[in-house]
Chains A and B, each alone.
Chain A
Amino acid sequence: MSSSTELTEKKVFLLKSLDGVIFEVEESVAVQLEVIRELIEGDCARPFISLYNVTSEILALVIEYCKHHAETCSGGTSATIADEDLKTFDNEFMNVDENILLELCSAADYLDIKSLFELTCRTLASLIKDRTIIEVRKMFNVENDFSVVEEKAVRKEFAWAFK
């Protein structure tokens, strides 16, 4: 971590999760949450911000993600090295339980963190990709609401996709 900015006073924000846990974050991290950046730009940001839809477990992960991205982007390394570093970090970061992945996706949507939202959507899609229909239903706990006849018709319509 760079120590050059240590001397200047950093602006910090306190983010409160759904279950009441308070996280202290620097402005460089907070602005990655588009919801908060909008508040800051509109000059309505209070130092204490409640995030009603995000649990502390998820918020901790979100902050870890934003912190790493903020540090890497301002770290003074070349763009290609930073890109590689972020890619490696993102891959490892996505190595989580499917439940957490979905909550992260929802949180990234709610907090409006575009890169994290895209990353989680892409990862969820890759989980779907290699599974059969039955496995997908089971995995995502989706109920099959087609009748036997309807399902047969849909499969017939896109028969080519099954080959």
Chain B
Amino acid sequence: MDRGQKRKLPVKCEDEGARFPLDELDQDILERVLSWLPTSTFFRNTSVCKKWKFVADSATFKLACSQVPARDPWFFMVDTQPHLNYNPFVFDSTEKAWKKLNLLPLLQENEYQASCSYIIPVAASGGLICFHGAPGEFIACNPVTGSCHQLASLDSHMQKSNHLLAIAMIPTTSSLKIVSVSGEYCKNLWAYGLVCLPVIGSVCLPINSFKYCIGSLVNEVQWVMLNPV
């Protein structure tokens, strides 16, 4: 890196009191500072000015965010009845408050409108939600940043069967693993990445890398915590 290209330190403003213009901050420093903000605070502050708003789209900002060691968790609540006006509730543990995200426009913007009528959330992990539409069709979605990504269609076994027994999603820093178990009991076991226990009509939600929670989306079956490791 050419050190000579680095910015000069902001000159102190003698008459304006002791305020410093963060606006004059190097973009790189601004991104690094904002990457430390809790999620809600970051999005609230997109209305500070245009520069702060556009930070959200920057690739280097996303990289900076991924280097922040830990954030307070968000807990997603999924609706048991799939319907058109699906909006997930989220518990933001930083602000200790419930928030209602508006997800439908997001899926529509991302051209999944056609499948919206039967799209249901099936797994959530690491701040991402996985939706299941047509058989074999999965969409991973970051409800906060608004990015959606249709995953490569799962194999033909999966497409023939509408019975999704269990699913888990494990995002890592560079990729996303989806584990799904479908078919009748374990006959058509379809899985890759990790093995998870099949329970009829259930979802398998990873709580963290070691704990999973299995329960039903359809019936009011008791939720069971699993600790496979």
Given A35-B3, A53-B6, A105-B33, A140-B23 contact (CB < 8 Å)? yes
B38 within 8 A of A: yes
Partner-contacting stretch, out of B8-16, B165-173, B206-214: B8-16
| Residues in chain A near residue B50, CB distance under 8 A | 145-146
For A129, the chain B residues whose CB sits under 8 A away are 37-38, 41
Are B9 and A121 touching (Cβ within 8 A)? Answer: no
- Nearest-Cβ distance from residue A60 to partner chain B, whole angstroms: 14
Q: Is the CB of A107 within 8 A of B9?
A: yes
Contact call B46/A136, Cβ cutoff below 8 A: no
Q: Which of A23-78 contact B (CB under 8 A)?
A: 35, 53-55, 58
Q: Could you tell me if A155 and B99 are in contact, using CB atoms closer than 8 angstroms?
A: no
| The 4 residue pairs across chains A and B that have the minimum distance between CB atoms | A125-B36, A140-B22, A161-B43, A158-B43
A160 in contact with B20 given A99-B12, A102-B25 (CB within 8 Å)? no
Cβ B29 vs Cβ A139 within 8 A = no
Whether A140 and B19, one on each chain, are in contact in the complex, defined by CB atoms closer than 8 angstroms, is: yes
Q: Does B101 contact A (CB under 8 A)?
A: yes
Task: Give CA–CA (A145, B41) in the complex, Å.
Answer: 20
A90 cross-chain contacts in B, Cβ below 8 A: none
Could you tell me the distance between the alpha carbons of A102 and B25 in the complex, rounded to whole angstroms?
A: 9
Partner of B3, one of A110, A117, A146: A110
**CB 8 Å contact bits of B158-182 with A (1 = contact, 0 = none):** 0000000000000000000000000
* Residue from the set B8, B32, B101 with the largest chain A CB neighbour count within 10 Å: B32
Q: Is the CB of B9 within 8 A of A163?
A: no
Task: Given contact pairs A106-B29, A144-B48, A160-B43, enumerate 9 new A-B contacts (beta carbons under 8 Å).
Answer: A105-B29, A110-B3, A124-B33, A128-B34, A129-B37, A140-B22, A140-B23, A157-B46, A161-B43
Q: Which A residues touch B41, using CB under 8 A?
A: 128-129, 161
Inter-chain contacts of A103 with B (CB < 8 A): 9-10, 20
Interface residues in chain A, defined as those with a beta carbon under 8 Å from any beta carbon in chain B:
18, 35, 53-55, 58, 97-99, 102-103, 105-107, 109-110, 117, 121-122, 124-126, 128-129, 133, 136-137, 139-146, 151, 154-155, 157-163
* B33 lies within 8 A of A141 (CB): no
User: B99–A160 contact, CB under 8 A?
Assistant: yes
Closest to A150 in B: B50
Name the residue of chain B whose CB is nearest to the CB of A140.
B22
For this complex, 27 residue pairs linking A to B, each with C-beta atoms less than 8 Å apart, are: A35-B3, A53-B7, A97-B18, A98-B20, A99-B18, A99-B19, A102-B20, A105-B29, A105-B33, A106-B10, A107-B9, A109-B29, A121-B33, A121-B36, A124-B22, A125-B37, A128-B45, A136-B48, A140-B22, A142-B52, A151-B47, A154-B46, A154-B47, A154-B53, A155-B47, A158-B47, A160-B100
Chain B 111-130 near chain A by CB (<8 Å), digits 1 or 0: 00000000000000000000
By the criterion CB–CB under 8 Å, are B47 and A146 in contact? Answer: yes
In the complex, which residue of chain A has the Cβ closest to the Cβ of B40? A161
Residues on A with beta carbons closer than 8 Å to the beta carbon of B79 = none
In the assembled complex, how far is the CB of residue A20 from the closest CB belonging to chain B, in whole angstroms?
Answer: 15
The answer to whether B22 touches A141, judged by C-beta atoms less than 8 angstroms apart, is yes
Question: Is there a chain A Cβ closer than 8 Å to B216's Cβ?
Answer: no
**B18 contacts A145, CB within 8 Å?**
no
Known: A53-B9, A121-B29, A129-B37. Contact between A102 and B46, CB under 8 A? no
Q: Is the CB of A141 within 8 A of B8?
A: no
**A155 CA / B3 CA spacing, docked (Å):** 39
- Cα A5 to Cα B52 in complex, Å, equals 49
Which residue of B is nearest A102, CB measured?
A: B20
A107 / chain B contacts, CB cutoff of 8 Å: 9
